[in-house]
Amino acid sequence: MLHPIVKTYAEACQTVAQLGIVPFLSASIPDHPSLDTLTEPAAWHTDQDTDPWRWRNRFATEGVAAYGRFIGSKTLLISRELFPLVKCLLAAPTTLDERYAAGTLARSVIQLHEIIQQHEIIDVRALRKLAGMQDKADKNAFDRALIDLQNNAEIVISGTTSNRNEQGTSSGWDSTCYMLAERWMEQHGIQPTSLARAEARAQLFAWLKPRWEASALLYLQKKLKQ
């Protein structure tokens, strides 16, 4: 399926709504467009309104799409219409505490979830500090815990915040911010689904089938088979 080049944020919103799930970068889902393949390379990192790099924050903060590493370590945009269904399928059958007690979950996952739960939104630097995971040796465990929480749709990326020095000027890279997925949905008026997993799965793939290539659909079916 051919998709027109997206030049504005409004067009990008329409495309995300039409496709339901759009990877941020290519090679995430086979034979399926991503934001970087749907846009002109020259438009990126211009810091203009037409810069797709800037749109990632708007998708999340305006409630257009959930943004996060919901499948593996690649970031995806999932439309507000489909996110409740995807969240239902990604959710683990047991609670975080039950998984930790069973030895299938690292303590760091519980720790980060508790901290994020205590904040409306928290940036990654503050999260690392509160978790006591600022050492270089902690980075892999910290990153893995964040991915685990996103893979189960416990949390979403809620945007970024500027880092500022003591003089109040912007300094270094922006920090990624996180919040509970339920809180993000509530903030943007998105109702959770009441469907059972099997019904949610059937409804999701019935919606995607006429819009996706067969190979892309098969890939997602395998990823959401649990």
Q: pLDDT truncated to tens, each residue of the chain (226 aa)?
A: 678 999 999 999 999 999 999 999 887 899 999 999 999 999 999 999 999 999 988 999 999 999 999 999 999 999 999 999 999 999 998 999 999 999 999 999 999 999 999 999 999 999 999 999 999 999 999 999 999 999 999 999 999 887 654 545 555 578 999 999 999 999 999 999 999 999 999 999 999 999 999 999 999 999 997 6
Within 10 Å of residue 184's Cβ, how many Cβ atoms? 24
Q: What's residue 167's pLDDT? A: 47
53 and 45 in contact (C-beta within 8 Å)?
yes
> How far does CA 41 lie from the centroid of its chain?
22
Cβ neighbors of 92 (< 8 A, separation 6 or more) are: 99, 152
Q: What's residue 166's pLDDT? A: 52
The first and second tokens of residue 99, run together, are: 């998984």
Q: What's residue 163's pLDDT? A: 62
Q: What's residue 206's pLDDT? A: 98
Token match 């890939």: residue?
Answer: 219
CA distances, 2 to each of 19, 33, 97, 141, 213 (Å)? 12, 9, 45, 40, 10
Q: What's residue 2's pLDDT? A: 76
